Amino acid sequence: MERDDLHREVLRTQGKLTGHFGYDAVGRRARHAAQRGHAADDLLAKQWQYDAAGDVIQKRDQRYGTTNYRYDPTGRIEQAAGPGLPSEVFRWDAAANLVSSDHPGGYVEHNRLKMFEDKRFEYDVYGRLVRKVSGHGPAKELILEYDDWNQLKTVVTKDRLGISTTHFEYDAFGRRIRKLNGSYASTDFLWDGMRLVQETYHDRQGEEVLTYLYEANSYVPLARIDQGKAAANDADARDAVYYFHNDVSGLPEELTDADGELIWQARYKVWGNAVQEEWVARVSHRPDPAWREVQAAVLAPTHAPRPQNLRFQGQYLDRETGLHYNTFRYYDPDIGRFVNPDPIGLAGGNNLYQYAPNPVSWIDPWGWSCSSDAKELAENLRNRPSVDYRAHHIVMSNSKDPRMIALRQQMEDLGIPLNGAKNGAWLPKDANSRLTGDLSTAHSGEGVHSDAYKQYVFDNLINAKTKPEFIAGLDDLRSDLKGGKTFPTKR
């Protein structure tokens, strides 16, 4: 890897493939091109364009064409359209629940979505999804069961292929360590902290081990190393290295091998559902449990790698169910939300099922969104003025904006806790929740998550070289917020 004077990655070598990265004026990744050796033509070439709020509004891919995105004034995704992809239109209610575009006025009681397009959902008394039915005649049905620690324990899948049962096991830290598919197969998972670093698949034909490498201080996958025992009827070696090529959100879109050949590719709907997925070049595809409209290609008759199951940062696709394991919860890409509420309760915000306003610009590798950070910050701030006040991070904790990433790294280098009281302030959730006599900026509607806010915070902190200087800058910014400073929210 090579980096520029601002420590941004500008070149990456992956086997015989060399990738180049370019950035816009505020440091957001704007270009990616990859070539084999000195070839004149790019194997991969992508460009991204952003709006004033920092959200991706256009993606140009030389292989697929241009995809456009549109957002509402609060940053929630409203529309996505591109060649070869279904045009998607989204409608939201006041509590950030997705509602069907043909019935936008529907009421979602307790934020428990009961119907969306051709899908129906049922919940238990704790608000956990226990049944999902998709499609019509024949429908697909999931029945979900949880353990005493609110972890998904068993999923029974009923579809045209029959009935199958998948069991899950967890360690003392809540990380999933095993997946059991009936009596014929199992997968063991190994972790480094909260990052999945290895999975071992066992079946009657043998064992295969997949090891994952990530970008530094990130959940963005960099490479996958496959090792395994050949089956009795397959003498081919199963050792290989594959390199990830991701969207700006960290979502894997291609894999290449050590020779720089394109091996795997996928295209997705906005919320992470693969609509096209195939192993290409010199690799065939083994029969996988398919979910919905995912298509798999069968090409040359050589050994087929294990499926590529990494999705949004921190997510792992369970093909048996169509759900994404997201460390502490499970995510449903059909509806862009979690299957059970955030255990943090009211500190998690108005909607405890929400994944993100839009997954193109936001990440949630633990399945807790900002809520776990917000809870810790709230505990450190203490003395909450009212239940309608939110713990606000001055340097944002869950933003992919390069300015916020740079400031978080600066805080780590200086030994300043991200969730410490020095990086926080109590703000009313909206202007109507402001207590009498309080001038504080509202947490919603007055720009504290806008591009202008990020730039203001960045300009005030980036040149701080010592811990006292940085803390003094945080104190000044907190004073601005307590004094009611607002920021433009124009998109």
Q: Which tops the pLDDT comparison, 69 or 281?
A: 69
Per-residue confidence band for 26, with pLDDT thresholds at 50, 70 and 90:
confident
pLDDT, one tens digit per residue, over 383-420 is: 888 877 889 999 998 777 888 988 999 999 999 999 99
Please tell me whether residue 418 adopts helix, strand or coil conformation.
Answer: coil
For the record, the structure tokens of 149 come out as 């620690």
Q: Rounded to an integer, what is the distance from CA 283 to the centroid of its chain?
A: 28
CA–CA separation, 164 and 320 (whole Å) = 8
For the chain, percent of residues with pLDDT exceeding 70: 89
pLDDT of residue 326: 95
Average pLDDT over residues 282-311: 59
Paired residues of 133 in beta bridges: 120, 141
Say if CB 285 and CB 298 are below 8 A apart. Answer: yes
Domain boundaries, the chain: 91-332, 370-482
CA–CA separation, 284 and 297 (whole Å) = 7
b/e map 461-476, b = 16+ CB within 10 Å: beebeeeeebbebbee
Top mean-pLDDT range of 76-90, 107-121, 144-158, 443-457: 144-158
Q: CA torsion 451→454→460→464, rounded to 10°?
A: -140
CA–CA separation, 163 and 127 (whole Å) = 25
Question: What amino acid occupies position 296?
Answer: A
**pLDDT above 80 (res 62):** yes
pLDDT, one tens digit per residue, over 64-113 is: 999 999 998 888 899 999 998 989 999 988 888 888 766 555 568 889 99
Say if CB 344 and CB 372 are below 8 A apart. Answer: yes
- Cis bond before residue 138 (omega within 30° of 0): yes
CA neighbours closer than 13 Å in the CB half-sphere of residue 221: 30
**pLDDT above 80 (res 489):** no
Q: Are strands 140-146 and 152-159 parallel, antiparallel or unpaired?
A: antiparallel
CA distances from 139 to 118, 162, 292 (A): 10, 11, 11
E strand or H helix that includes residue 475: helix 467-482
pLDDT of residue 369: 62
84: phi then psi, degrees, rounded to nearest 5:
75, 0
- Environment class of 440 (CB within 10 Å of its CB; exposed 0-12, middle 13-18, buried 19+): buried
The sheet that has 44-50: what strands, in order across it?
A: 2-3, 9-14, 17-23, 29-36, 44-50, 56-61, 65-71, 77-81, 88-89
b/e map 378-416, b = 16+ CB within 10 Å: beebeeeeeeebbbbbbbbbbbbbbbbbbbbebbeeeeb
